[in-house]
Structure 1
């Protein structure tokens, strides 16, 4: 099939350079710029408007108006593409397929829910029978539990009695502990007193030992002094004996001298008498 020739209605001049721009068939936003130069015309037109948008007077207003037009064109293009995607035959077919798939899923879910309801009913019947059996077992368990509760009460009473006895024993133990504590304190005091007395006795023993040592030294010195004094006494006794002997000799010599003097006096008197 030969391609259809392009009609003037399928062409539109570029808003920047004026060249003819081929348009797509059907509904949609028309192409305002050349499409074969990677958007160069569109960028050049935008740059030109940006240069003139702050210009005073009509050029600035025109530039700002074209900027608004570009924004509206972008919005229109977005809406056109969305509507084309949703309202085109392919879009409608896709929506129908989605609706059929959703309906099939809902039908399958309904069948599944029905089967689950049947299974739930059967399970409920089985659960009811099992619940009846469990109720009978629970009643039997309740009777057994009541019996166990009575036994537990008896054990609790015995445990309470044991607890009371334990409390009494604990009180006694506390009193014994207090007495033991008092005895321990008294024992510690006695121990401290004994230690103090022991230290005192040790000090007295050391003092006595030192005194004994000093007395021993004094005794030895006294012995030496006594020996020296004894020797001195012996020498004094010897000296006294010699002195007594010398005194006796002196007395004897004196007596002899007196006798000689008497004899001499007698001779002198005799000589004097003879001389007369």
Structure 2
């Protein structure tokens, strides 16, 4: 409870945050106090100066209160058990985060060390491989030099052999030219002989063609005569075939009549068989009746 600054009436303050009340809530004490302060400030002399000083002090007090209140609220929040616990939790979380980061960095450092060791081992293996390859290259170089020397010697031998071969080729060319001349002479002789043979063959072939032509004419004449005879025979055969067809038609008609008569005879035979069967049944019945009558007598 605090008294009103104008009338002195006790004022009940609300708990919690916010500025405390200085005047009554129901009356116009605040407006009346404001009018009095204005009158006092307007009064000349010491009283007006004091009024203005009091008003300045009140404004300064209000400004300080507005500045100090957030600071007090923050201090209360941080210095309270909940604030301290929250601060500790935040610090612990930050510490855990830093520890996790440190562990991650340590693992990364270990991984980098492992990779560096592997790279070193790989470089060492590559160095050994390079040394082995250098040795192999030196051996291959020595082998290549030896092969080159051998190839040079072989080339010299090949040159010597090529010279000898060239001489032999020249001799062979001269001999071949001589043989070609002989072959050309033999060819000319063979051509002349072949021409003579062809001429003789043509004369013989002409004679054979004439003889074959005469023989063919005789064969054609004989073939024509045979064709005429064959035509006459064919005409006679045609007449015979016409007569044979007529006879065949007559025979077919006779056969049809015979078949019809045979069918009639078969029907008559079937009728006779049926009639004989009926007569036989009647005879058997009559005999049975006669036998029965004799038995009764």
TM range (shorter): 0.3 to 0.5
Higher helix proportion, which one? 2
Structure with more relative contact order (C-alpha pairs < 8 Å, separation 6 or more): 1
Q: With structure 1 as the length reference, what TM-score do the two structures score?
A: 0.42
Question: What's the TM-score, normalizing by structure 2?
Answer: 0.40
